[in-house]
Amino acid sequence: MKPDLLIATNGFKGTWPSIEYGAWLAATLDKKVALLGVTEHINPAAIDDHHPLEDVFERAVGLFKQNGVEYSLEVQNGNAEEVIPRKARQDDFIVVSGPLGRPQIRRMLTGRSIRHLMEEIEQPIFYVPESKLPLKKILICIGGLGYEVTAEHIAMQIAMKSRAEITLLHIVPPMDLDYPTARTVSRNWQNLSQTDTPVGRSLRQALEIANADGLTASITARQGNVVEEILAEIKKEDYDLLCMGSAYSANALRQLYAPNVTAEIAEAVTCPVLTARYKHEFK
C-alpha cells in the first residue's frame, strides 16, 4: 500500500511552504493527505475565539481542492514535537513539516525541531523551509553504506513524475583510518564510480536505475568536511531538493552520514530536504 502524506502545522506562518509542497507532492505521486493541526497553547478564556489554525486550514483545503488531492483534517492539542511523531506512528505516512517557529533560546537549548522529529519518526520526512517549485534539480547524497536507499527510491519516483535532473553526490572526508578501502577511495575520489568499493558500487547502481527510468543523471564527488562540502555543492548548483539517508536505521556507532549531519544540513539550507531511514522494502 502506498503511504499517504502527513502534513503537520502548528499554525506558524513558516509551516505554510510545507503545506504548499505537500499538496504538490501528493498530486505528483497520487497520494492522499492527512493535514494535522497542532494547538500548542490553549487558553480556556479564549475558547470561543477564532482558532489560529482555522485560516491555515481554510487556505490548505482550497489548495488541496485546486490540486485534486483527497484530504482529511485533524486537530490535536499538545507539543508539536510530541504530537507529530505520535500521529506518524499510527500509519505508514510520509511526513511533511516545516519550521515550527521556536524561540531562539529554545533552539539553542534543545536544537531545532527537525532534530527531534528525525529521532522519533521512522518514516521518510520532507523538511520544507521554502517550497522550491517547479522541481528541476535533485541532489541525492550517496554515502556508500546503504542508508540513502529509501530516500533515493523516493527521489527517483519524484524525478520520474516531474522529469527533474538528478545529481548523485559523494563526499570523501579526510582519511583518519588507514585501511585498503579508505586508501582506494581517497586516491580515486574524482572517479569513485569506477572503483570496486562500496561507494563505487552504490553510485553505479543508482546511476543505472536512473538511466533505466529514462532520467537525466550524473555523478559528482567532493573531498573535505561532509557538511561544508554538501552546503558548497548546494550553493553552487542551486538544487530544488536535497535527499539524504538517515543512519538511525543502523546500530553502528560510526557512520558517514550521521543523523546530526543531516540535521545540520537541514538547518542551514532553504531548499526542501528529504531524509529517510533505510528499509528493505519501499513502495
In a domain, 148, yes or no: yes
In a domain, 227, yes or no: yes
Are 101 and 178 in a shared domain?
Answer: no
In a domain, 283, yes or no: no
Please compute the mean of the pLDDT values over residues 2-28 and round it to a whole number.
94
What is the pLDDT, as a whole number, of residue 23? 98
In a domain, 95, yes or no: yes
What is the pLDDT, as a whole number, of residue 147? 65
Q: What is the distance between the alpha carbons of residues 70 and 53, in angstroms, rounded to a whole number?
A: 20
Pairing of strands 5-9, 94-97: parallel
From residue 241, how far is each of 95, 139, 165, 207 by CA, in Å?
15, 6, 11, 18
pLDDT band at 250 (very low <50, low <70, confident <90, very high): very low
Q: What is the distance between the alpha carbons of residues 272 and 270, in angstroms, rounded to a whole number?
A: 7
Where is pLDDT greater, at 115 or 233? 233
Are 225 and 260 in a shared domain?
Answer: yes
Are 21 and 108 in a shared domain?
Answer: yes
Are 170 and 271 in a shared domain?
Answer: yes
In a domain, 50, yes or no: yes
What is the pLDDT, as a whole number, of residue 173? 79
**Is the confidence at residue 217, as pLDDT, over 50?**
yes
What is the pLDDT, as a whole number, of residue 50? 59
Counted domains in the chain: 2
Please compute the mean of the pLDDT values over residues 263-277 and round it to a whole number.
91
CATH number for the domain spanning 208: value is 3.40.50.620
pLDDT band at 34 (very low <50, low <70, confident <90, very high): very high
Are 103 and 24 in a shared domain?
Answer: yes
Cβ neighbours for 67, distance < 8 A, ≥ 6 positions apart: 23, 24, 26, 27
In a domain, 132, yes or no: no
What is the pLDDT, as a whole number, of residue 194? 77
Tell me the residue range of the domain where 30 lies.
5-127
Q: What is the DSSP letter of 100?
A: -
pLDDT band at 195 (very low <50, low <70, confident <90, very high): confident
What is the pLDDT, as a whole number, of residue 253? 38
Are 112 and 149 in a shared domain?
Answer: no
Where is pLDDT greater, at 68 or 251? 68
- If we measure between CA atoms, which residue out of 122, 126, 99 comes closest to residue 28? 126
Q: Find the Cα–Cα–Cα–Cα dihedral 77, 264, 195, 189, rounded to 10°.
A: 170
pLDDT band at 256 (very low <50, low <70, confident <90, very high): very low
Pairing of strands 273-277, 125-127: antiparallel
In a domain, 91, yes or no: yes
Where is pLDDT greater, at 257 or 16? 16
pLDDT band at 90 (very low <50, low <70, confident <90, very high): very high
